[in-house]
């Protein structure tokens, strides 16, 4: 479903620009359950025979963030280690929402003059 939605969005933008997409950058949070390899494979498979055939997906995972309740500092979090504020060392933290899946950028083929 994710790959189909991406294909539809990229195809719609390609139609607006009357251009063939060559790559698309998407981003998502670290906890967003997405397997990059499978998403790329499925996207390439369903793009066969469309204007998006051959377009590559670039996937960027955004880091988790927390906000310190003591000093208001916002910082990236490594969930594999102890989490303390890098500014004041407090562990009174608020975990911020994970980044959603976003289509950030589409690169189109340069038109031939």
- Any domain includes 113: no
Confidence grade of residue 30 (pLDDT, cut at 50, 70, 90) = confident
- Any domain includes 55: yes
Give pTM, 2 decimals.
Answer: 0.78
Share of the chain above pLDDT 70, in %: 97
- Any domain includes 67: yes
pLDDT of residue 112: 52
User: How many structural domains are present in the chain?
Assistant: 1
Read off the CATH number of the domain in which 41 is found: 3.30.2320.80
- Any domain includes 29: yes
d(CA 46, CA 93): 43
pLDDT of residue 111: 64
- Any domain includes 7: yes
CB atoms within 10 A of CB 18: 9
Domain with 30 in it = 2-108
Q: What is the per-residue pLDDT across 60-89, written as a single tens digit (0 to 9) for each?
A: 999 999 999 999 999 999 888 889 999 999
CA 16 and chain centroid, separation:
22
Residue 112's φ and ψ, nearest 5 degrees, are: -85, 125
Q: What is the per-residue pLDDT across 40-67, written as a single tens digit (0 to 9) for each?
A: 999 999 999 998 999 999 999 999 999 9
């Amino acid at each position: 479903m994710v790959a189909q939605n991406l294909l539809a969005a990229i195809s719609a933008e390609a139609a607006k620009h009357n251009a063939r997409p060559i790559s698309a950058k998407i981003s998502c949070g670290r906890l967003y359950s997405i397997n990059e390899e499978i998403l790329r494979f499925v996207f390439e498979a369903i793009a066969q025979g469309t204007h998006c055939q051959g377009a590559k997906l670039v996937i960027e995972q955004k880091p988790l963030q927390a906000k310190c309740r003591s000093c208001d500092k916002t910082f990236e979090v490594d969930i594999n280690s102890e989490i303390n504020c890098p500014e004041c060392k407090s562990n009174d933290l608020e975990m911020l929402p994970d980044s959603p899946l976003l289509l950030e950028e589409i690169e189109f083929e340069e038109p031939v003059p």
